[in-house]
């Protein structure tokens, strides 16, 4: 059974060691702070620049419907063309829907010296892919599924000719991002198709240098956080609450991985929130219906794009038509299920090994055009909280003479996710309690604040030594339980979540 969470002691920003990819959460029934364990030392994961650019690109390029054939034709002329499918044989059979491989490269030649200094973008770019994402647009054009393919994934690339030396190579083990370095887009597509069994219909490649300008062009992106976010490595410094991030701040937000013990897992969750918010901004902010605005935004993104020769005006218009009516709920995000996140390979070092059985199930769902995220019933908007209610144990008491009030409060708390005992008790005190009271052990103060958010007007009372169970004594002032949700929603079978689950409430 999960337990309430106590507040961790924040590390000193100048001396905190680099965070690493977290281990899987502790098994149910263990008590802890909710801080995931650290992975083995020695491997650093570079920022996932390409994911943000590639996803923003997909939203904008697919949003061309209603703008006009002439405008889109003008944009198409600025795209650098490549042929990643040339002479490709033995490909997977085509499935239902449309599959795009979005590749982000680590180019930064257009970032000014001042921006590099302000946003801490030092270092040289590499001739490799930083991020790869498989985007599936359903056959009915009602859903977009985005699956992130970790760049350090253990892969076995097929036999090929090295694009730099012309030397013939037999198939051999590599990290997935090395496919681009050895054989460019052609070998990247072959490798991804071989690993996933999914036929790639179109290839889009973007440079992260357009990211900041793109965010500025759409008018910024709204992000909310239940706790302050500060990362001395990127310069990110956000107070708890809602913020509209400009391009530079957005870059800091999606790069940060030294905020808490969640490391790369936390960063991935923030990236999902950002991408979902970007989808909402583009599809709901008038970009797709304003020719001038669309051309400004799309040209900013397409300035750094390479695409296959078959992705032209007609494809943009057809796909863009599908994007109208899209909302964050129309998009879903998942990562490849992993068996081991530090799989040692001689000559390669630490790699990420996919879970073969679960991954095959995921990509089979893509091939069969099935949704990845569970279908959830419509729910009222919920307040964003630091600790998920599912992790908070609650015992309810009835502090009044009203029959059934304890059951009513227990049921309402449970419906918004709290782990209640389902066995409310009498208050045990004389008279009528006027104000609902929450007693808690000070070690679980964050959980107590979440419970107080769900019970507006309630009184908090610290009781040393009470333990992990929080007690709620319902008073005569009780009217309702306010819905709350954690920042990291639970995914379904594949860990997938829809965009509306991660955007601001």
Burial zone of 377 (CB within 10 Å; 0-12 exposed, 13-18 middle, 19+ buried):
exposed
Helix (H/G/I), strand (E/B), else coil: 264: helix
Six-digit token string for 144: 């977009």
Tell me the pLDDT tens digit for each residue of 97-127: 999 998 877 666 677 788 878 777 766 666 6
Pairing of strands 419-420, 393-398: parallel
In the structure, what pLDDT confidence band is assigned to residue 40 with cuts at 50, 70 and 90?
Answer: very low
Cβ 72 vs Cβ 173: under 8 Å: no
Calpha distance 83→288 (Å, rounded): 29
Q: What is the mean pLDDT of residues 163-188?
A: 87
Burial zone of 35 (CB within 10 Å; 0-12 exposed, 13-18 middle, 19+ buried):
middle
Which letter does DSSP use for residue 429 in this model? S
Calpha distance 371→44 (Å, rounded): 33
Least confident span in 48-52, 442-446, 501-505: 48-52
Q: What is the mean pLDDT of residues 194-212?
A: 85
> Is residue 183 predicted with pLDDT exceeding 60?
yes
In the structure, what pLDDT confidence band is assigned to residue 447 with cuts at 50, 70 and 90?
Answer: very high
Q: What is the pTM of this model?
A: 0.69
Calpha distance 354→352 (Å, rounded): 7
> Is residue 11 predicted with pLDDT exceeding 80?
no
Specify which residues 242 forms β-bridges with.
Answer: 224
Q: How many residues does the chain have?
A: 505
Q: How far apart are the first and last CA of the chain?
A: 28
Q: Which pLDDT score, from 0 to 100, does residue 434 have?
A: 94
Q: What is the mean pLDDT of residues 194-214?
A: 84
Tell me the pLDDT tens digit for each residue of 260-275: 766 556 676 787 788 7
Q: Which pLDDT score, from 0 to 100, does residue 425 have?
A: 94
Taking alpha carbons only, the member of 74, 494, 63, 40 closest to residue 317 is 63
What is the biggest distance separating any 2 CA atoms in the chain, rounded to whole angstroms? Answer: 88
Pairing of strands 98-105, 202-207: parallel
Helix (H/G/I), strand (E/B), else coil: 58: helix
Cα angle, residue 37 at apex, residues 31 and 41 outer, rounded to 5°: 160
Calpha distance 111→121 (Å, rounded): 9
Q: Over the chain, what is the mean pLDDT?
A: 78
> Is residue 448 predicted with pLDDT exceeding 60?
yes
Q: Which helix (H) or strand (E) is 451 found in, with range?
A: helix 445-454
Write out the DSSP string of 329-359: GGEEEEE--EEEEEEEETTTEEEEEE-HHHH
Q: Which pLDDT score, from 0 to 100, does residue 68 have?
A: 52
Least confident span in 65-69, 115-119, 210-214, 486-490: 65-69
Helix (H/G/I), strand (E/B), else coil: 145: strand
């Amino acid at each position: 059974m999960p337990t309430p969470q106590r507040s961790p002691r924040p590390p000193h920003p100048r001396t905190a060691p680099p965070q690493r990819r977290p281990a899987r959460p502790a098994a149910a029934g263990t008590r802890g702070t909710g801080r995931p364990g650290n992975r083995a030392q020695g491997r650093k994961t570079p920022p996932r620049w390409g994911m943000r650019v590639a996803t923003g690109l997909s939203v904008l390029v697919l949003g061309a419907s209603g703008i006009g054939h002439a405008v889109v034709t003008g944009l198409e002329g600025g795209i650098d063309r490549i042929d990643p499918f040339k002479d490709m044989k033995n490909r997977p059979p085509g499935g239902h829907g449309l599959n795009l491989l979005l590749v982000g490269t680590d180019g930064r030649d257009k970032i000014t010296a001042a921006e590099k200094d302000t946003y801490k973008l030092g270092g040289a770019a590499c001739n490799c892919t930083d991020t790869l994402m498989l985007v599936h647009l359903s056959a009915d054009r009602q859903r977009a599924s985005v699956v992130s393919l970790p760049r350090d994934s253990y892969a076995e690339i097929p036999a090929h000719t090295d694009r730099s030396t012309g030397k013939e190579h037999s198939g051999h083990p590599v990290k997935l991002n090395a496919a681009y370095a050895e054989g460019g887009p052609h070998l990247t597509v072959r490798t991804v198709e071989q690993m996933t069994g999914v036929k790639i219909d179109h290839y889009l490649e973007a440079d992260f240098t357009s990211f900041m300008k793109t965010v500025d062009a759409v008018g910024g992106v709204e992000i909310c956080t239940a706790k302050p976010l500060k990362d001395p490595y990127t310069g990110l410094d956000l107070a708890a609450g809602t913020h509209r991030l400009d391009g530079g701040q957005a870059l800091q937000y999606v790069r940060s991985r030294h905020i808490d013990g969640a490391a790369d897992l936390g960063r991935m969750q923030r990236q999902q929130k950002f991408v979902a918010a970007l989808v909402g901004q583009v599809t709901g902010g008038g970009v797709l219906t304003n020719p001038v605005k669309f051309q400004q935004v799309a040209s900013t993104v397409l300035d750094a794009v390479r695409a296959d020769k078959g992705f032209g005006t007609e494809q943009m218009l057809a796909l863009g038509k599908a994007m109208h009516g899209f909302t964050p709920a129309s998009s879903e995000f998942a990562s490849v299920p992993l068996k081991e996140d530090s799989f040692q390979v001689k000559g390669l070092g630490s790699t990420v090994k996919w879970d073969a059985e679960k991954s095959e199930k995921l990509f089979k769902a893509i091939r069969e055009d099935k949704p990845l995220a569970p279908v959830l019933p419509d729910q009222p908007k919920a307040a964003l909280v630091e600790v998920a209610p599912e992790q908070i144990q609650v015992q309810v008491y009835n502090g009044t003479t009203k029959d059934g009030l304890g059951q009513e409060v227990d049921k309402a708390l449970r419906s918004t996710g709290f782990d209640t005992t389902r066995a409310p008790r009498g208050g045990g005190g004389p008279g009528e309690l006027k104000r609902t009271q929450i007693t808690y052990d000070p070690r679980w103060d964050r959980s107590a604040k979440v419970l107080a958010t769900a019970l507006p007007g309630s009184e908090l009372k610290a009781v040393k030594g009470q333990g992990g169970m929080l007690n709620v004594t319902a008073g005569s002032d009780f009217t309702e339980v306010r819905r709350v949700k954690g920042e990291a929603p639970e995914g379904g079978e594949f860990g997938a979540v829809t965009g509306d689950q991660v955007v601001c409430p």
